[in-house]
Structure 1
Amino acid sequence: MENGDIEIWANSIREDLPRMKGQISDTEIIIPRVPERLRLGENDPYEPQIISFGPYHHGKPRLQDMEKYKWRYLEAILSRNEEIPLEHYINMMKEQETKIRSWYPDYFDINSSEEFVKMVLLDGCFFVEYLLRCHEEVLDELDSINWMHGQILYDILLLENQIPFFILNKIFELLQVTPSPSMDVHSSPSSLTEMAISYLRRTTKKNTNLPPPESVHHLLHLYHSFCLYTPKVERDRTTSIITNDGVTSEISAEVSCQDIPSATVLQEAGIKFMRKEVEGSSLDVTFSNGEMKIPPLLIDADTKSRLRNLVIFEQFYPNFSSDKSFSAYVEFINVLVTTPEDVALLYEEGIIQTFYSNKYTAGLLSQLQRGTTVKSNHYLAPLYQKVISTFTSISLTTSYFPRCRKVSRTKRREDNGEACVLIPHPRISLISRGILSTKK
């Protein structure tokens, strides 16, 4: 190869460097598509039903009915402050186009700069105006359709349907809304973030008083923070010691979720389940003195999509290092509920609230964790250790054998859940897996 050719290639690569850098978010914050390995053949939990935001679902025929509302809401935004002309909004969007595009790393078919800017402008102005109208309790044509607001909330909280929050903030700032010290109805909101929190509080009927976070990447991120419980648990890496008739058993603090029996088996061993009344998060699970207290979990038409999008958001969140997570919570629910009998038990205790059959509910809950990973040191790890210690203590002191119960989830899918096998004594099972050791 001639030196001249190498120099031409090098110049070509140098020209591409700025362009390619612009396609990567400086903050590593991205709004990805849900990959096939996590979809597992399903689209409904991840795709909008009536309205699109952002490029991934833009232009789909079944979502076109809502486009007229986006134009009306753009007009409403412009009329809120007529001193700020449309050109100001377009210029701001154009200046931010490269940054906005970098937040969407997966393929979308919008190459035209004009089309992309128009899309973000319409989507962003609809979003801001919608939050303003909800805050001001202004009735419009959307209120004439009973299910409309619930469906918009459903679509707003989909990972693939997010808009960078910074661009929404810029629209809000251009409006020059006068700040107010309170968030009383009809007062001017002090910030877009506080207005969004107020919207989530009303629409989800949660009493969580989340202080405005330092940064919000998109509304699903804010909803994640809004819902997430932060338990103050000190990690104890020592072992718990149980002594019985001269036999000392050591239970490692590193206990896997697979070592936790299902709800019915735990109840048969004497562990009690109780509904826990909390304000806000349903992740606040506790275990003490043989009693497991779990906040109520509502199973409705939105549950699967809502939890799956929160879990998958965590899978892609850069440097997600918090012990707390929805990923750990759905793993916990998946462990407790393996059969319709487990659903029936938790329903009787007021923990699971569902209008579906026990079989359907058990199947739905078993799908929440599919394809995802959970860090071993998550916030429920100490609870797992306490449960297995108590369960093993009962086994050692009462020679408890669980009754014949359903086989594993994998086997149950093969035989439609009808087979029944004898489960090994828990102490034997724990010894075989290296979790429990005995010393005389």
Structure 2
Amino acid sequence: MEEIQRVEDVQSFPLSESIQLEAPHLSESSPLSEAPTVVDLEASLQCELDTLWHNANEAENFTIFRTPHIISQSKKNLFEPTAVSIGPLYRGQKHLRAMEEQKRRFLRDFLSRGDHISLNLCISAMKLLETKTRMCYSEMFDDLDSNAFVKMMLLDGCFVLEYFLKSSEENWNSIDEVGWNHNFIVRDLLLLENQIPFFIVERLYGIGLNQEIRNHFVNYIVRNVAGYLSHVTGDSIDAFQPEGEIHHLVHLYYEYLVPDPEEPVVLSTKPLFCLPNSINNISSRAIPSATELKLKGLKFRPKSNRENMLDISFEYGVLKIPTLKCDDSTKPIFANLIAFESSKYGKKNRPFTSFVYFLDNLVNTPNDVTILQECGIIENWLSGEEELTHFLNQASSKFDS
């Protein structure tokens, strides 16, 4: 609690407020007479430095941050929420305010789940997590005082929790009334910049549901996310049990799709190709398109009983790939998973990005999409083969620099 108080008490202030006149040889009307002294400038800047977290490994604590501008400026619609803001990065934006009333309804519904749940208890729990939560973001958010930040944590945490609890209870009337499609909500919940730390949701879950088994809770969140997105069909969701700390929902979904980032993307019993986790030299090992491979006699088959999304194999002239469903949600989800992977693992371990590059190599023309559709590897729910071709060819651009 002392650390929390320290953060609240230390306030940065604009340089202009520290200015004092110390130039008697200048007239009062001179612009230079308003310049700060070196001492005042030092004091002001030192105050700003004192607000930074005192942690030698502070960069390792950041789990939620903005996508680099060079990426987001050309793909803005893939990274910004359209229905609901979660966390401070998009808080208060006008086009997202309609869902704020729904957040309050969800908080009311959460408090009504049992007599043991009180507003005071929830606020106190969020207050204890405030400093830890702030340190997860790469920005300070000095414009949010303690009460505003804690309120945001509670409302957003309850929205995420109640959204998935209601999905398991098939209680969607309250959300349907405001006219939002569930896919829009799930899409926004899986945007890298639109996150709160997962420990906030876990703490609220512990308060409301008497500390039930964490893995059960995590499992049905993944079940509901995968149920709406279903990017890879034929999933065995029940077997998914994440290990270690989950940072946020994007991290959770990534762990579900890519359970072991150290494994190679393409596992081949008879060598034809093997994409490395690093994409640095992928251009020199490019895979022929589906059309070219088919002309050479190679056959494509959807892979059943897959271990994960990246479980691709080649044997006896047959390339087996898990069935991939592509719809309007695929674009933003893939873009944010690639951005997350790039930020978390750098260039050395990027299996999901390599997987997307693999698809990019297979698909050069609409005819390649047709081949993969006919054999059951791709389920295309986009407007047509051309749109899917363009998406796969552009999905990972600017992430490989």
Q: TM-score w.r.t. structure 2 length?
A: 0.75
Q: 2:161, 2:205 within 8 Å by CA — same for their partners in 1?
A: yes
The worse-fitting range, judged by mean Cα deviation, of 221-230 and 70-79 is 221-230
DSSP 3-state at the match of 1:305: helix
Match of 2:18 in 1: none
DSSP 3-state at the match of 1:49: coil
Q: TM-score w.r.t. structure 1 length?
A: 0.69
Q: 1:277, 1:295 within 8 Å by CA — same for their partners in 2?
A: yes
Is the counterpart of residue 74 in structure 1 residue 107 in structure 2? yes
| CA RMSD after TM alignment | 3.4
Residues 121-165 of structure 1 show CA distances to partners (whole Å, capped at 9, x for unaligned) of 110111112222222333432245776222211111111111101
Match of 1:228 in 2: 258
* Structure 1 letter corresponding to 2:336: N
DSSP 3-state at the match of 2:193: helix
Is the counterpart of residue 345 in structure 1 residue 375 in structure 2? no
- 1:63 shift after superposition: 1.0
Q: Percent identity, aligned pairs only?
A: 32
Correspondences of 1:350-429 after superposition (within 5 Å)? 350-355=376-381, 356-373=383-400
Correspondences of 1:17-416 after superposition (within 5 Å)? 19-21=51-53, 25=58, 27-106=60-139, 110-143=143-176, 148-177=181-210, 179=212, 192-205=217-230, 206-208=235-237, 209-228=239-258, 230=260, 256-258=282-284, 259-279=286-306, 281-317=308-344, 322=349, 325-355=351-381, 356-373=383-400
DSSP 3-state at the match of 2:61: coil
CA distance in 2, matches of 1:255, 1:223: 27
- 1:282 shift after superposition: 3.3
How many residue pairs are counted as aligned between the two chains? 346
Assess, with a 3 A threshold, how the Cα gap between structure 1 residues 345 and 145 changes in structure 2: closer, same or farther.
farther
CA distance in 1, matches of 2:281, 2:247: 34
* Structure 1 letter corresponding to 2:52: M
Assess, with a 3 A threshold, how the Cα gap between structure 1 residues 320 and 90 changes in structure 2: closer, same or farther.
farther
* Structure 2 letter corresponding to 1:19: T
CA distance in 1, matches of 2:119, 2:296: 68
Query: Which structure would you say has the larger Rg?
Result: 1
CA distance in 1, matches of 2:389, 2:223: 33
Assess, with a 3 A threshold, how the Cα gap between structure 1 residues 260 and 299 changes in structure 2: closer, same or farther.
same
CA distance in 1, matches of 2:177, 2:100: 17
CA distance in 2, matches of 1:291, 1:190: 37
CA distance in 1, matches of 2:109, 2:244: 29
The worse-fitting range, judged by mean Cα deviation, of 111-120 and 332-341 is 111-120
Q: 1:201, 1:207 within 8 Å by CA — same for their partners in 2?
A: no
Gaps of 5+ in 1: 181-188, 242-253, 375-440
Gaps of 5+ in 2: 1-36, 273-279
Match of 1:250 in 2: none
DSSP 3-state at the match of 1:317: helix
- 1:334 shift after superposition: 1.0
Residues 96-145 of structure 1 show CA distances to partners (whole Å, capped at 9, x for unaligned) of 22221222214758433222221111101111122222223334322457
Q: 1:264, 1:342 within 8 Å by CA — same for their partners in 2?
A: yes
Q: 1:25, 1:103 within 8 Å by CA — same for their partners in 2?
A: no
